[in-house]
Copies of this chain bind each other. A is one copy, B any other.
Amino acid sequence: MKFAIVSVGNELLRGDIVNDNAKYIAQKLAALGHSVERIVVVPDRVDDIVEELRRLLKYDFIFVTGGLGATHDDVTAEAIAKALNRSLVLDEKAVKQVKRWTDKKEVVEKVAKIPAESEVIQNDVGVAPAFITGKIAALPGVPAEMRDTFEKIVKRFEKLEVYEEDVIVEGKEEDFLEKLNSVVRKFPDVEIGSYPKPGYVVLKFRGKKERVLEAKREFLS
A residues with CB within 8 A of B: 10-20, 22-30, 35-44, 48, 69-73, 102, 104, 106-107, 127, 142, 173-174, 177-178, 180-181, 184, 191-196, 204
Contact B18 A18, beta carbon cutoff 8 Å:
yes
How far is A26 from B38 in the complex, measured between Cα atoms in Å?
Answer: 19
Which of B29, B40, B193 contacts A10 (CB under 8 A)?
B193
How far is A167 from B36 in the complex, measured between Cα atoms in Å?
Answer: 37
Main secondary structure, interface of A, reads mixed
Which of B11, B29, B38 contacts A41 (CB under 8 A)?
B38
A46 to chain B, nearest CB (A): 14
Nearest residue (CB) in B for A30 is B14
How far is A104 from B181 in the complex, measured between Cα atoms in Å?
Answer: 14
How far is A82 from B137 in the complex, measured between Cα atoms in Å?
Answer: 34
Contact A73 B13, beta carbon cutoff 8 Å:
no
How far is A191 from B10 in the complex, measured between Cα atoms in Å?
Answer: 10
Nearest 5 A/B pairs, CB to CB: A15-B27, A15-B26, A39-B41, A14-B30, A13-B36
Query: Which residues on B sit within 8 Å (CB–CB) of A28?
Result: 15
How far is A104 from B36 in the complex, measured between Cα atoms in Å?
Answer: 35
28 contacts between A and B (CB under 8 A): A11-B195, A13-B30, A13-B35, A13-B36, A15-B22, A15-B23, A15-B28, A15-B29, A15-B30, A15-B36, A16-B195, A17-B23, A19-B22, A37-B43, A37-B48, A38-B41, A39-B40, A40-B40, A44-B193, A69-B194, A71-B173, A71-B181, A73-B194, A104-B177, A106-B178, A106-B181, A107-B174, A142-B196
Query: Which residues on B sit within 8 Å (CB–CB) of A204?
Result: 11, 16
Query: Which residues on B sit within 8 Å (CB–CB) of A43?
Result: 37
Query: Which residues on B sit within 8 Å (CB–CB) of A27?
Result: 14-16
Query: Which residues on B sit within 8 Å (CB–CB) of A41?
Result: 22, 38-40
